[in-house]
Structure 1
Amino acid sequence: MNVVGYVRLSRDEDKENYSSIVAQKEIIIEYAKKLNWEICRMYVDDNYSGYTFDRPAFNRMKEDIENGKVDVIIAKDISRIGRHNAKTLLFIEYVQTNGKRLVLPEEGSGYDTESDDDDILGIKTWYNERYVKDISKKIKANMHIKQRKGELVMGNLYGYIKDPNNKSKLYIDENIRPIIQLIFKLYIDGLGYKKISDILNEKSYPTPSAYIKQKHAESGRVFKNLVSDLWQTHNIQRIVQNDLYIGTLWTHKKQNKKIGGKQEKVKKEEQYCFENHHEAIISKEDFELAQQINNKRRSLIDYSGKSFSNVKATYKGNAKYDYIFSSFVFCGDCGFAATGKNLGRKPKVIRGYECTQYAKYGLQRCVSHNVWEDKLLFFFKEFLKEIKNQYEEYLKTFNFEQSRKNVTESLNRLQKELKVTNEELKILLNQKIKDIIKETNAEFREIIEDSYSQLENDKKARINELTIKIEELKRVGNKDIEKKIQTAIDKFDSIIESERPDRKVIEMILDRILIYHDKTIEFKLLVDISELTYDNTSMI
């Protein structure tokens, strides 16, 4: 008979009176001895909330139940299984359905699914859930009080450094000040998000996530979010539109409506705004000018889209003809949409595309230029052939050996980091025990315990993250890469070989087509072919 123990601890829930991991294990082992049972393994979730049932050890235990490796589960009491009423009761039903047994030695006078009635247990699980929800409400209330005062509860602010002695104070990070100022100068000078990001990448300026990760590492912390080493358009957009850089601070921008749920944006009117909160990096005049430029550019895009959709509907209704590139063609001179229309005179029919601004306003808005659809399709196919020829050799001779080597190197790197992080956790726990033993004052011992809890959380989170990545990497094979390559070839061939390409295939690869008055045609794909065949293992 396979008898296992389950142990869970969450200091946030249980605070002063929690039963330690060691104490829970002792209770389980002692109970098993009385029945001459031998514990074959212990599942331990240290510092995991009972409200969520997505816990590493708990999930492994369920897998073992389904694989026939568990017959009896012993836990100290029902709160160790969980504090979510419905989910806890569902787990008990799950155990019974699978023909297993759950024993809770310290649940009342003891509870055993094999012999005891679970009616009272439902009341207890309801109480446990109310308990954790009450704590959650208190934490949220405390956070809101701090946010209303302008204190920085969480988050990283690119360009500013938090004062460690004053949670409501920010001062400028002089390493980042020139980057922020350059971004606003280039934008006001007329450059777009893409061009600005290219310039920053050429200068090797650190992206917000890369810089924050670096600062975390310097202070011995783990940055858990995804890191991008290259500037992208959305990075520039967020900075240009962020009034943080004129000294304004917004707090309470996101909140969790449910325990363990995803963060949701808070309505602007419900956020807390503090103007002149800190020293500005950008003048208010430059910031306002940047917003005016941004609004003008956005209105042009919006208007182009609206005018196109309206005209498109009219022409489609009159001509009863579905243009191959409808919604893709834009005027390269004025930026507005180019709509499908009959460019010939009756009875001659020449399907094509013409700038909507010229068609509506004449030379006041743009110049006369259009393109036949047959020619546009011919040039598009030729363009795809050229792109395909450029990369065909690369696609067909993809270095699978190098791919395997990349996977191996990434795997070795992650495993090495996992080993180091485990060692760091051991050292941290040993130091914690030493500090607690040395301290005789009970209140100070609690402060030490709280101080170490976040450090332990960070290390354990990183260990869990690394473990997941390692398992994912072990499953990575060349089949996925090969499939992407073949898909790319198929998409190109489907359009090149078709008399009238499938609209869905076009939408999968084409972003837009720009037509110019000098007869130049520019095709923009949604993604570069090299990105389609990029080995994502290097991103792990």
Structure 2
Amino acid sequence: MSEQKREIIVIPAVEGQGTLKNRNRQLRVASYSRVSTDFEEQLTSFHAQKSYYTDLILRTPQWTLAGTYADEGISGASAEKRPDFMRMYRHCKKGKIDLIITKSISRFARNTLDSIGYVRKLKAMGVGVLFEKENINTLEENSEVVLTILASLAQEELNSMSMNIKMGKRMAMQEGKVHFPYAKVYAYRKGSDDQPEIIPEEAEIVTQIYRSYLSGKSVGKIVDALNASGVPSPSKKGDWTDTTVRGLLKNERYCGDVLLQKTYITDPISKKSKKNNGELPKIYIKNNHVPIVSREVFEQVQRESARRTSKRKVTKASITEQGRYSSLYALNDILICGECGTPYKRVTWTKRSGKKQIVWRCYKRLDYGTKYCKDSITIDEESLHAAIMEAVRATAGEQAPLIPIVTAELEIGMWEKAEGQINVEQIEQRMAEIKAQTMELINQSISSHTVDENGGKLKALSDELRSLYDMLTEYKATNGTQVSIKQKIEDITEFLEQAPVDYTTYDDTLVRQFIDTIKVNSDNTLKIYFKNGLEYEQSISPKVRKLKVS
């Protein structure tokens, strides 16, 4: 067992994390269109819808086109009979789409069960549906009233019944009660003191996997090397797989910590498990058991993994919407256009002399011309690398004085959020009253066919119920978090102090570890967002002949 003191840390829920969007990146938006007949006027409307939504997505700075999906001359009674709808759904499952925009609920699905079912499935994946006619975004809280009307109050009632059970489990987590699944955690076994014990020969394999990944090897190459060397897999029955290696790289137990409540049940009806991305509080226990890799190495792996998995389509010529990881170019994912927000693409130019030059260009302008991106600049790779390293060297000296200022502001904000007392009993009583009123109003609306007329009242009740529920959840999550706040401030300070010093040559590994996003502005400047929160503007002098706009 580790000699360090065991700590129990409560990580509060992160406000606004339900949509999981990076503030510096675009939403991947797809459009869906459908007409139910082959009549000429319907088909004209059908093609107009496709053209309209493609143009709308490309003209919206915060969006990037993730695909256009359309079914013509097909009834909306069943989703399974609409091939493009099902293709769009499969792409959502693969994480290629963040938001779907469609004309109306009737264009999405006429079958009530289909509509509710697919909206819920998409919402569980973090994918929203924007119904333009009704002005409803299913990721927004006020859209819940639609599902409430269609599904009565079945889900809310079951949520209430299961709430006490959930809170009981979460309290046990906050007390540090940890279940260690030895059968699923490679390189650990139960020791004589009933605590996790390292298996030396397997621990060496874990260390080797972490080193290989940080050196730039892909998961596939690591798997091939392990199988070629005859290393027994964790199951002892088959070969190593990509899934197994990725699981080892993401498991915090290998640095001696335990993170509880990584997933949660979205609702008691579907009972589907979803990854907890901040919607609910997590419990992080540091130094719970003896580590195999250091915490610093583990965090480096997580940053590298996030960089690789965040890749997306950078050209309309790509076969799929999702890009593939390449260990060659760190800028593939983080270099974006300051005008339209679209990623830049690495291109090889051949001059008349036959000499080749590597440049970076905005893919929207490259593929679609100046209609959607007029002023983005083309940068030669040599000048780009030099400007980035100049910014890294400049900020290395500036980050140290900023550390106490940044941490002080963070500490003030955390304490302010944790303060305040509420009457839990009174809130729970009001929630029960709202549920009863909503049920009564829905029953009355259905029997008297006045659902539309009572929509405003139902929405108001739903909004108040959600607001009270969020208030109660936040209070229970932040109650007694003094130790958590202190530890988080210490961790942030330690991270900020690990700034790069005196780098002269461009290095992809350095860029991956310290830079989150680089925006290329039309005035020949780079806006660089470092992962520690620092922002820096760097001038650049491209060595590229200015192209004539046709």
TM-score, with structure 2 as normaliser: 0.29
Greater RCO (CA < 8 Å, at least 6 residues apart): 2
Bigger fraction of residues in helix: 1
Question: Structure 1 length normalisation: TM-score?
Answer: 0.29
User: Which is greater in Rg?
Assistant: 1
